[in-house]
């Protein structure tokens, strides 16, 4: 939605709500996520990236890319802009944009 107030033709207000779902995203998980997925959540697919010594310390950690499946996000965008013409200097535009992310979820899918 865009609003240009009467009498303030150089002022422009913008607002929008968004909802996105992106399938087939690829990312690298941080080490803590891989460790938690293996040792806390007991997801075997992550345990193959960690090798341990006899005393349970980590001897090898493999960082790799994952097809995490889906990202779902919703939020709000708000913008305000103001134009000012100066005959000697040109046109100036001041813009203020804000994005508020209400939700962000990665839905993990291991192949």
| Residue 103 maps to a domain | yes
Tokens for 41?
């959540």
Q: Are strands 65-86 and 50-52 parallel, antiparallel or unpaired?
A: unpaired
3-state helix, strand, coil in the chain (%, to 5): 10, 60, 30
Q: Is residue 1 part of a domain?
A: no
Query: Hey, which bits of 1-111 come out as E strands?
Result: 2-3, 11-28, 50-52, 58-61, 65-86, 90-107
Give a yes or no: residue 95 inside a domain. Answer: yes
In a domain, 75, yes or no: yes
7 in a structural domain: no
Adjacent-strand bridge partners of 13: 3, 80
Domain that holds residue 31: 13-107
pLDDT 10s digit of each residue in the chain, 111 long?
Answer: 888 888 777 899 999 999 999 998 887 778 888 889 888 988 888 888 899 898 888 899 888 887 778 899 999 999 999 998 888 889 899 999 999 999 999 887 655
* Number of domains comprising the chain: 1
Q: Is 43 contained in some domain?
A: yes
């Amino acid at each position: 939605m865009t609003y240009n107030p009467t009498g303030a033709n150089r002022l422009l207000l913008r607002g929008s709500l968004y909802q996105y779902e992106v399938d087939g995203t690829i990312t690298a998980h941080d080490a803590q996520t891989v460790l938690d997925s293996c040792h806390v959540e007991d997801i075997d697919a992550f345990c193959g990236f960690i090798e341990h010594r006899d005393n349970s310390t980590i001897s090898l950690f493999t960082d790799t890319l994952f097809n995490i499946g889906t990202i779902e996000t919703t939020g709000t965008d708000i913008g305000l802009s103001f134009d000012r013409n100066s005959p000697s200097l040109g046109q100036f535009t001041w813009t203020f944009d804000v994005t508020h992310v209400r939700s962000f979820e990665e839905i993990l899918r291991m192949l």
